[in-house]
Amino acid sequence: GAVVSQHPSWVICKSGTSVKIECRSLDFQATTMFWYRQFPKQSLMLMATSNEGSKATYEQGVEKDKFLINHASLTLSTLTVTSAHPEDSSFYICSAQPMEGYTFGSGTRLTVV
């Protein structure tokens, strides 16, 4: 089936630095990629929708300048958390929509210290 590969699985970074998370569709073309954030013991909240070759659409309350999304090709979308702070520590998950439904990356656990 369709697979989305997400890297890294976990990352620890210092406050003020930037972290890039990559999601690749391995055997299909992902025109659209969805990015979610999940805080501990909470649900997945949609952060943004990225479309290949165009600007991402952010959900209300999500800072565009802090969470930079790039979807330059049909197989790669990236999320960069800029100037990370401890409150950005969370589980980030990407999702694509191949023909047979939704498929999710394995998630990235970000810890900002």
Q: Which residues bind other proteins (CB under 8 A)?
A: 31-32, 34, 36, 42-46, 49, 51, 93, 95, 97, 101-102, 104-107, 109
How many angstroms separate the CA atoms of 12 and 34, rounded? 23
Name the minimum Å distance from CB 102 to other proteins.
6
- Cβ burial of 56 (10 Å; 0-12, 13-18, 19+) is buried
Name the minimum Å distance from CB 46 to other proteins.
5
**Are 84 and 95 in contact, with CB atoms under 8 Å apart?**
no
Nearer to other proteins, 14 or 41 (CB): 41
- Radius of gyration of the CA atoms of the chain, in A: 13
Nearer to other proteins, 1 or 86 (CB): 1
Nearer to other proteins, 17 or 106 (CB): 106
